[in-house]
Structure 1
Amino acid sequence: MRTEVMVDQEITHVAAVLSSATFRNLSTQQPLDAMTRLERIAPAAAAGGARTMADVFNAAYATLRRDYRNEYVFKNAVVSSVVFGRHRPTTASAILELPVGASFADVAVFNGTSTVYEIKTDLDSFARLDSQVADYSTRVEFVNVVVSDARASAAERHVPAHVGLLALRRNGSFTQIRPPHSNRDRLRSDHIFGMLRRAEAECVVGAAALDTAGGPAERWEALRSAFAALDSTRAHSGAVTALRHRGMQAATVAAHADLPQSARALAYSAALSKTAGARLLKRMQQPIPPVWGD
């Protein structure tokens, strides 16, 4: 009889395949760590019909969806439904774990506006939700909380009225419990500034606003002050453009036919160089070594 410890170990190995560390390592010239993780679950995947590395990723994802809906399952479902479903990867981009105030947005999507998806799996509490929503609401236009369908009723008691609520079904689709309301009146330019890299913020305010003497500290303060002085609508619009462009760097890999759909969120969580991305895509289509199927 299989013990609970054995099952837990198997799930741990499966979850390790669908991680940013494995994804990045698979794009390197010597992906020993990634290959070790893939090899651990390859026999079970091969028994289920897997033939390529991409098939192993898909098999791992199917196992998690069925037996252990961790945060990655939710993230990939959001990316697939929003970036590849509602929009297109050529018009919308995603950034995972984006620093937003003192919080990290699980999935942030940028197209003509900004939307954050805060995930609460069945293993998460709502203890930090108030502070997370406060961080998001002054920096992005729309905020959604994503839960499992079994937890939707309980979540409604914790989610503020202006925040949307989505429930993930077992089949991977979403039910919208309620839509989000715009945060346009809550946005603050000084808060939005903290989401951007220096070069991004400089593009938004323009060179003329940064004509100042002094060292790096003085120039940084001038940039921060100039951005904070912007109308919140302009600051938000500029940030959306900058962050959409940043997220688009992953689109070449994320939207490629050789990348399995199960790895879409990984592509947006681990932006790769052109060379590394090409190497990873090629490896995805390589056959599983015969010895792995034994």
Structure 2
Amino acid sequence: MNIKILLNKLFTVNSLEKVISGQNVTVYKNVINELIEPSSSVSNLQALNIIYDYMSKKHRNEYFYKNTLLNKILLGRHSINTSTAIRELPVNKCILDFLIINGVGQAYEIKTELDNLKRLKDQIENYYHVFSFCNIVTDISHVEQIKNSLDIPEVGIIVLTKRNTLHEERKAIKYEKKLDYESMFKVLRKYEFEAILKDNFGYLPKTKDFEYYDACFQIFKELDVLKAQEEMLWQLKQRRGVDTDNIEKFKMVPREIKSLVYFSSYKKDNFERLDRFLTKKMGDV
């Protein structure tokens, strides 16, 4: 199988869990066979480092971009104690690649060098229905086309450089004119919009089950639109990837798989199992 396809399969939450638990190591061993000498006496940790280094030079896929955002922005500029990252968040008919909430919500749409830009304008316009700061994270090869084809001067443009640093080509500017109650409400889970209504109005509607969602939405619309956004962001921020008891353990996770672990809701025993896997000989699970 093509090494790039293998890498896409390996760096997912489910795949990592299967590798660490020994349920399915086929993809991992196939990647090892492609990139590392079988006779090499290295640990799984060292193997992941070699594999990720190859990705950084030969195959910067969407996972590589997301993992870079998490390492360099959430963990590098902010604090895991006060900020939250969310990936693949449904927004209307689009899926937002990455969101970081630290006081404000910064939306990040990823366009790797492997992607086309056909849906970009529609995606960004949809994100502005919910968030006031939107960014495109991309390769330098896309920058001029984005500037020429996307007539939204408020959107930020961030370049993942060849040295794998993030260069802010254009800073995102706050844009609130498109904020939309329905789009924000749909982002929320039931217990989240119920908490907003109870906190702001002190009650929940008493209706038949099939009328309940619409009744809650009607009350939500009574908030000022910026207040509604503020409440929505606060609720989203509570979707923390790492609980406070395990922050120190998370800090020890290798950067190569930081994003996968962050979005896996690891508990103490998960971290211990990961540590055992990383110290074992390459391919041994």
Q: Taking structure 2 as the reference length, what is the TM-score of the superposition?
A: 0.87
Q: Does 1:272 align with 2:265?
A: yes
> Which contiguous aligned blocks of 4+ residues in structure 1 show a shift greater than 6 angstroms?
46-50
The question of whether the paired residues in 2 share the 8 Å contact of 1:11 and 1:68 is answered with yes
Among 26, 31, 42, which residue is 2:32 paired with? 42
The secondary structure found in structure 1 opposite 2:137 is strand
Q: Which stretch shifts more, 65-74 or 241-250?
A: 241-250
The question of whether the paired residues in 2 share the 8 Å contact of 1:15 and 1:60 is answered with no
Map 1:105-184 onto structure 2 (within 5 A). Answer: 105-159=96-150, 160-184=152-176
Letter in 2 for 1:266: L
How far the C-alpha of 1:58 sits from its partner, in A, is: 2.4
CA distance in 1 between counterparts of 2:22 and 2:216 reads: 41
Among 46, 52, 55, which residue is 1:61 paired with? 52
How far the C-alpha of 1:291 sits from its partner, in A, is: 7.1
- Superposition RMSD on alpha carbons, in Å? 2.7
Q: Does 1:103 align with 2:94?
A: yes
How far the C-alpha of 1:39 sits from its partner, in A, is: 2.1
- 2:225 match: 232
- 2:186 match: 194
The secondary structure found in structure 1 opposite 2:87 is strand
What are the Cα deviations for residues 94-130 of structure 1, in whole angstroms up to 9, with x where unaligned? 1111111111111111110101110111221111111
What are the Cα deviations for residues 56-96 of structure 1, in whole angstroms up to 9, with x where unaligned? 32222211111111111111111112101121211111111
The question of whether the paired residues in 2 share the 8 Å contact of 1:94 and 1:247 is answered with yes
- 1:9 match: 2
Q: Does 1:185 align with 2:162?
A: no
Aligned residue pairs total 281
Taking a change above 3 Å as real, the CA distance of residues 289 and 70 of structure 1, as seen in their structure-2 partners, is closer
Among 55, 69, 72, which residue is 2:63 paired with? 72
The question of whether the paired residues in 2 share the 8 Å contact of 1:15 and 1:64 is answered with no
Q: Which stretch shifts more, 162-171 or 11-20?
A: 11-20
- 2:198 match: 206
- 1:89 match: 80
The question of whether the paired residues in 2 share the 8 Å contact of 1:142 and 1:183 is answered with yes
Q: Which stretch shifts more, 151-160 or 49-58?
A: 49-58
Letter in 1 for 2:101: F
The secondary structure found in structure 2 opposite 1:130 is helix
What are the Cα deviations for residues 217-261 of structure 1, in whole angstroms up to 9, with x where unaligned? 222222111112211121111111111110344784797144210
Among 234, 238, 241, which residue is 1:241 paired with? 234
Identity, % of aligned positions: 21
Q: Which runs of 5+ in 1 are unaligned?
A: 1-7
The question of whether the paired residues in 1 share the 8 Å contact of 2:155 and 2:173 is answered with yes
Letter in 2 for 1:213: K
Letter in 2 for 1:166: I
- 2:23 match: 32
